[in-house]
Amino acid sequence: MTQLLLQLEAQPSYAAADFVPDASNDEALRWLSAPDRWPDGRLLLAGPPGTGKTHLLHATAEAEGWTLLRGPSLTGLPEAPTRGVALDEADLPGEEAALFHLINACAEARLPLLMAAARPPSRWRVALPDLRSRLAATAVALLDEPSDALLDALLAKHLADRQIALDPALLTTLRRRLPRRAAVMAEAVARLDRASLAAGRRLTRAASLAVLAPLMDDGSETSDAEAVPPGAALL
């Protein structure tokens, strides 16, 4: 009998209590504290991957009871909203016209619209002139790359989300050698998780370093002492 191993993608925690305030997200937190002051009732959170914009969007939608949507799923004419809307990946709408109608629908109903995207609207490729006009009138809160302290907290959070326990010495090595960017921390933990699932067991220190070598700051592979022979990398 063939046994199949199901590799389920871990779902990150977007609980408000798990969000760590930082100088990099202070502007966004100030805007989110006063939705009634958003121009035309709209706010866009923009920042590089892993900087917390999706976390803030989900946490706000949960706290306020707003409808949560994703840009790639926006098509056709949206239903008239009856509560606030939180739209993730707003810069990747399934149809530009659908995003335009959603913005108008929220404005007409005087309901808040919170959006998140990797870039501010001025850097989006938008064909519809009316949509460009609406986006230009939208308040934007920028999120920057996190501080060193927050990056360490993010690494710990990603590990906890995927229930990965690392030796303290290995964790110190990763903090020292991984590029100090939020997206890299998330990718590093995802690679460890995929490799561990493929092996069906916890990775050794040597195997972990081998998996993450392409991400390391110096681009180097593991040392001879840490090198993992082919076929034995995942122990």
CATH number of 22-142: 3.40.50.300
Q: Identify the pLDDT of residue 10.
A: 56
Residue 1 above 50 pLDDT?
A: no
Question: How large is the average pLDDT for residues 136-160?
Answer: 92
pLDDT value of position 17? 81
Q: Could you please report the per-residue DSSP string of the chain?
A: -------PPPPPP--GGG----GGGHHHHHHHT-GGGSGGGEEEEE-STTSSHHHHHHHHHHHHTPEEEEGGG--S-PPPPSS-EEEESTTS-S-HHHHHHHHHHHHHTT--EEEEESS-GGGS----HHHHHHHHTSEEEE--PPPHHHHHHHHHHHHHHTT----HHHHHHHHHHS-S-HHHHHHHHHHHHHHHHHHTSPPPHHHHHHHHGGGSTT-----TTT---TT-S--
**pLDDT of amino acid 229:** 29
Q: Is the pLDDT of residue 228 over 80?
A: no
Domain boundaries, the chain: 22-142, 148-215
Q: Give the per-residue pLDDT at 109.
A: 96
Q: Is the pLDDT of residue 18 over 50?
A: yes
Tens of pLDDT, residues 85-130: 999 999 999 999 999 999 999 999 999 999 999 999 999 999 999 9
Question: Which CATH architecture describes the domain 148-215?
Answer: Orthogonal Bundle (1.10)
Q: What is the pTM of this model?
A: 0.72
The whole-number average pLDDT for the span 78-82 is 89
Residue 72 clears pLDDT 80, i.e. is over it: yes
Specify the pLDDT at position 232: 28
